[in-house]
Copies of this chain bind each other. A is one copy, B any other.
Amino acid sequence: MASFGPSNPLRGSRVTRSWKLVESGFRNASNTRRFSATANNCKPSNVGGVGLAAKDASIGEQAPEPLTIQGIKARRAKAGKLVAGTAAYSDSDMFKSPHAYQNPKARRWDHLLSAESRARKPCVLKQAAKHLKKPGLVSLGGGLPSADHFPFDSMSLRIPVPPHFSEEATHREGKITTIGKRDVVEKDSVFDLSIGLNYGQSIGSAQVLRWVTEHTELCHRPPYADWRCALTIGSTGSLEAAYRMFCDRARGDSILTEEYSFSTALETAEPLGIKVFGIKMDEQGLLPESMDDILRTWDESERGAKKPTVLYTVPSGQNPTGATQGERRRKDIYDVCRKHDVFILEDEPYYFLQMQPYAGQDSPDVPPPANVEEFLNGLIPSLLSIDVDGRVMRHDSFSKVVVPGSRMGWVTASEQVIERYIRHAECCSQGPSGFSQLAMYKLLDEEWGHEGYLQWMMDLRLQYTKRRDAILHACEKFLPAEVVSWTPPAAGMFLWLKVDESRHPEVGSKSLMDIEEEIFDSCIDKGVLACRGSWFRAEHDKPLPSLFFRTTFASASEEQMAVAIERFGSAIRESFKLD
């Protein structure tokens, strides 16, 4: 399976499927982009006339000037300095380009919202903040401490200067960027510690929300008018909130997901009384036919749950299978969701970890994209980017592509869904850490900008490509091909190893669960930890149908990976009595 470039089979695939698009009125909202230095009237930037413009006529008609990196710079220059003080209210509408408003608004989701979510009202104290706009008003209202008493005068970070992203280059010649307590007043800056370390709005600071909104429009261009973003405390938190917003224990709500799914996502749903059902998968992830089949033939009494109204999916580099949905696949999934009115939770931590195609051990590497435009062009469109209904809540994360410790990400969805999300966050997290917001603002906005961030991603995906290739080489060398098989992952950080149970000497007399455990224990004995496939089953109560192990190439060194895979191979050989 290849993953990148003009010949990327997952991108713009021409696969014809026997299963048909069932809902009429589906507007082709393909996000195909091309480089166009003249797509707008701005001068080329210092990084060279980056621009992105639609070549698809259906978008071209609606949107003569979709957002570009140049366009962002021009719009910012025109808007003037961002003025946003302590706990200032902001929303994405302040930062979207006019292009975004040419589409119709999203559908309403009142019929899907839980009793809990519907009951949420705005915080009375945050509501009162609207009076603060009055000139000369003195507030004795909110209990926000004075920044006079903050014991931090400045924060400095040493960070890479694009394109010198390596750890060594950063350590040796990285830039030290500093943010002071009173920079807004004293240095004409946009953000400082006096604002970032005080209470803020749950949606996040305007300073970071602006960057996130621009980035989202640049990369996804959601095809409805009233999309918005909100910062989150990471996708673990925003996913839990989404479950509570759309699923209601008392209503018997249930959700669909891949038959093997992210274990924390499953563990989050279970205590809430939400039943989870698994959809069959192939090497491109969940099968729309299987999903349609489940929904078409749903029998409430047999299933013990209401027909699912929510799909949780990881389209790129799925956890644990490493599968990546191609463009055609995503559209087919989206259409099944429209047919059955299913709301989509798109969890995309690995979206930018779409790697180079795997050429095999002795083949020459495929050349990587030459620039940011080629990189963006080659990415598979997100579900968000084909979401004409506003039925997707996309969860973006910095954990896998910057640092997990930021505990910060963002969601994108319709105005209605984001408003409900913020009401939830006000009583739950109050938004991400100020330290995180300040650090990420300095890195992403003031220092790197949108282009620098995308360059970072281009570099990072090559690091992951190298890591993936190393584990694949080890697998080819050390694993018994007659028993263990795999698909080279096109994105993410996981390699899913299928073990052919039919060749096990005790198959039939011993349960697959026992065989899996035996192999896992033997792996530990030999000194390698690989995750058991059974840990990721969406439906835990059914007998295990086949043997899988999840491995990751995210953290171990190339040498360690080789040692680990050799040990895994030895455990398999022993269990299968191969040698």
Query: Interface on A for B, CB 8 Å cutoff?
Result: 115-117, 119-121, 123-125, 128, 131-132, 134, 136-146, 148-160, 165, 167, 170-171, 174, 176, 181, 196-200, 233-234, 236-237, 240, 249-250, 263-264, 267-268, 270-273, 319, 399-400, 402-408, 426-439, 443, 456, 460, 463, 471, 493-494, 524, 527-531, 535, 551-556, 560-561, 563-565, 567-568
Contact = CB atoms under 8 A, between A and B. Distances in A.
A198 B405 contact: yes
Contacts of A551: 140
A237 B240 CA distance: 13
Contacts of A428: 236-237, 240, 268, 428
Nearest to A170: B153
Contact of A405 (B128, B170, B250, B434): B434
Nearest to A464: B149
Top 8 closest A-B pairs, CB basis? Answer: A405-B434, A433-B433, A197-B405, A435-B435, A138-B564, A140-B551, A153-B158, A197-B403
Main secondary structure of the interface of A (DSSP, over half): mixed
27 contacts: A124-B267, A128-B535, A137-B528, A137-B529, A138-B564, A138-B567, A140-B528, A140-B530, A140-B561, A140-B568, A141-B552, A145-B555, A151-B443, A151-B456, A155-B156, A197-B404, A198-B405, A233-B407, A264-B426, A267-B427, A405-B434, A405-B438, A407-B434, A429-B429, A433-B433, A435-B436, A435-B439
Contacts of A494: 143
Contacts of A319: 143
B404 A434 contact: yes
A141 B197 contact: no
Contacts of A529: 128, 131-132, 137-141
Given A151-B402, A530-B140, A119 B555 contact: no
Nearest to A196: B405
Contacts of A565: 140
- Residue in A197, A198, A403, A528 with the greatest tally of chain B CB atoms within 10 Å: A403
A115 B145 CA distance: 38
Nearest to A241: B428
Most interface-central of A142, A160, A272, A529 (chain B CB within 10 A): A529
A157 B434 CA distance: 14
A469 to B, nearest CB: 15
Nearest to A116: B271
Contacts of A524: 131, 134, 137
A267 B528 contact: no
A144 B240 contact: no
